[in-house]
Amino acid sequence: MEHGEFHRRQELCNLRAMRYLPPGTRLPRPATYEERLLLADLVALPDDADPRSWLRRERGALVTRIALRETLMYLQELRRHGLDRVWPRSRRGAHGCRVGEG
């Protein structure tokens, strides 16, 4: 089994385990209201539902915003620690904008 598949299965098992916790058990508390609703919806999915397919189909825009925000926060951390220098400063993004300059 490849590394990514192992983590995907582990996350799926964790999600399924959350469904069977006793009422009142404290779950992770996402930062925003939308993310808390998303977690509640994921925990409420039936066992035979594929969470990744459901996320793409039902919450694609929200998941995209969350992923973008997390990526930008990660890049800010890299920059704060001076690790952004590993990327060439002259690279151009998809729309002709310079990537890595700021």
pLDDT, one tens digit per residue, over 80-95 is: 887 766 655 555 555 5
Q: What is the pTM of this model?
A: 0.64
What integer pLDDT is reported at residue 83 of this predicted model? Answer: 72
Half-sphere exposure of 75 (CA within 13 A, CB side): 11
Beta-carbon contacts of residue 54 (< 8 Å; ≥ 6 apart):
42, 45
With a cut of 60, say whether residue 54 has pLDDT above it.
yes
98 phi/psi in degrees, rounded to 5:
-70, 135
- State the pLDDT at residue 72: 92
Q: What is the largest CA-CA distance in the chain?
A: 54
